[in-house]
Amino acid sequence: MSFVFFDTETTGLKRGFDQILHFAAVRTDANLNELARFETRSRLQPHVLPHPSALRTNGLPIEWLTDGNLPSHYTMVTDIRRTLISWSPAVFVGFNSIRFDEEMLRHALFQSLYPAYLTSNHRNCRADALSLVMAADAVSPAQLVVPVNEEGRRTFRLQQLATANGVSHARAHDAMSDVLATLDLCRLIYQRSPELWQRFVRFSNKATVADFVEAEDGFVLTEFFGGQAYHSPVVCIGSDPDQANGRLCLSLNEDVGRLAAMSDPELQVHLTQKPSPIRRFRINAAPTLTAFFDAPEHMLEGGAIGDIEDWARRVKADIGLRTRLVAAYIAAREPYALSPHIEERIYNGFPGPADEARIAAFHDARWEDRFAIVQGMEDERLRWFGLRLIYFEARSVLPEPARLEVERYLTDQMTGDGSGCLTIDQAMAETGRLLGEAVGPDDLLMHYRTYLQDRRARLEAYRAKLVA
């Protein structure tokens, strides 16, 4: 199995609304020897306003992002998809990638009318180097140096980790530089702690995770919050009915006899306490799991291994109790609310087979023929994203009513209440705040403010024209 290390630089942190600007990836063999590199950029989409903090972090002037010589977002995503599929099957690895870069890539694919789950399909697996680094620190702290920031707190930021461990990282927040730094950190763990590396690779495969969770009476689940590792001896009590890849576990620090004696309403109340006795993870998100016999004493939260194993076997054998616990947890959980923004509905169901055929036909058709294909789509998300794609790439082929529909929608978003994409007013206010805090002139943000002022004037002129 090969590996693909990848990273994205984006206009901001809002998944579904911000976009990828720079994507880089390196393919390696099983021993982490480099085989190939890929890198691509995109110009700014017409409706996306970069967050000024992102521009400052990435060092990207607005003039670069609006350069018409750069590929369009759709062209960039098409190139990314073609390359990654040609490198599949592989284990996809990034730094904090499962929580961020994977999400940005999924949204980019979905909004470009491609299947969103590229890194989970095509016999691929996925893992996160941030979890690996944190696990290495928690399990075998001698393997890596974890630096301390100016506030005296240990930090797991990629730039600081690279520096502390002698890893070259000349251009932080450049996608290719971040990829190479991530790869080198993984090489250190691969060389210094082969057992930990093998566990990392093993649990990148969701089928392997599912088998482990099912076969073991119990295990240690390690979760990371605020740069700290938290270990919980747990037993799996069942699947999450609302998420096929979700698994629900019970902390083995609970008094199982007391739980069994509770009524269903009492269980519901008990399971809503913070922190909840029920821990949830996804088998397809490369969780950090440790078998009891591999777990150091400090990972057992002070419990005796014999007692913990006895409790785990008791819960595992009591199907009735596990069923009641899952039902009580689900009943107490707040229902998921449908987002008013179509950009945030990526996880609200899969496109049907007929629409899957239509999106495949969409990419093979001429632009002048794609509008008819989009009109036939049953999924409103795909209809909207398809219409928007045609507007961005070949708006002259759109009938005027369709063109006006897209323009009104995007104008309303950019001047709206801010619950979705970054608005003109929000971008202006944040840019002004950062300029006010700057020591000396900040040409990058000053140019961006001029750009925003021009965009605002054009939007106001367009809205006035619509009213007239």
Residue tagged 């002259």 (tokens):
396
pLDDT digits 0-9 by tens, 242-300? 889 999 999 998 888 888 899 989 998 898 888 889 999 999 999 999 998 888 777 87
CA-wise closest residue to 311 among 365, 253, 382 = 253
Identify the pLDDT of residue 344.
96
pLDDT digits 0-9 by tens, 169-222? 878 789 999 999 999 999 999 999 998 899 999 999 999 999 999 999 999 998
Identify the pLDDT of residue 438.
83
pLDDT digits 0-9 by tens, 40-75? 999 999 999 999 999 999 899 999 999 999 999 999
Residue type, 187: R
Cα within 13 Å of Cα(346), Cβ side: 21
Name the 3-class secondary structure at 419: coil
Pairs from 24-29 (Cβ < 8 Å, separation ≥ 24) = 24/175, 24/176, 24/178, 24/179, 25/83, 25/84, 25/87, 25/179, 26/176, 26/179, 26/180, 26/183, 27/2, 27/3, 27/87, 27/90, 28/2, 28/3, 28/4, 28/183, 29/2, 29/3
Q: What CATH superfamily is the domain 206-332? A: Exonuclease ExoI, domain 2 (3.30.1520.20)
Q: Note whether 223 and 251 are within 8 A (CB).
A: no
Residues 354-364: what's their mean pLDDT?
A: 97
Question: 14-28, 86-100, 170-184: which has the minimum mean pLDDT?
Answer: 170-184
Res. 239: pLDDT tops 70: yes
1 pLDDT band, cuts 50/70/90, is confident
Q: Note whether 282 and 120 are within 8 A (CB).
A: no
228 pLDDT band, cuts 50/70/90, is confident
439 pLDDT band, cuts 50/70/90, is confident
Residues 305-313: what's their mean pLDDT?
A: 88
**Boundaries of every domain in the chain:** 2-197, 206-332, 352-467
CA-wise closest residue to 133 among 288, 264, 28, 295 = 288
Identify the pLDDT of residue 468.
65
Residues 28-37: what's their mean pLDDT?
A: 98
Q: What is the CATH number of domain 2-197?
A: 3.30.420.10
Residues 289-316: what's their mean pLDDT?
A: 84
Rounded CA-CA distance 41/72 in Å is 9
Which range of 326-330, 359-363, 412-416 scores highest in mean pLDDT? It is 359-363
CA 391 vs CA 18, 46, 345, 400, 411: distances in Å:
18, 10, 21, 11, 14
Residues 6+ apart with CB under 8 A from 152: none
CA 190 vs CA 133, 198, 288: distances in Å:
11, 8, 16
Rounded CA-CA distance 436/294 in Å is 53
Res. 22: pLDDT tops 70: yes
Q: Do 206-332 and 2-197 have the same topology in CATH?
A: no
Q: How many beta carbons lie within 10 A of that of residue 337, not counting itself?
A: 6
Rounded CA-CA distance 362/159 in Å is 41
Percentage of the chain with pLDDT > 90? 73
Question: 135-144, 161-170, 289-298: which has the minimum mean pLDDT?
Answer: 135-144
Rounded CA-CA distance 237/278 in Å is 9
* H-type alpha helices, 350-415: 353-364, 367-375, 380-394, 400-414
Pairing status of strand 20-28 against strand 228-240: unpaired
> Rounded mean pLDDT of the chain?
92
CA-wise closest residue to 42 among 12, 16, 68 = 68
Rounded CA-CA distance 182/96 in Å is 10
pTM listed for this prediction: 0.93
Q: How many beta carbons lie within 10 A of that of residue 263, not counting itself?
A: 10
Identify the pLDDT of residue 215.
93
81 pLDDT band, cuts 50/70/90, is very high
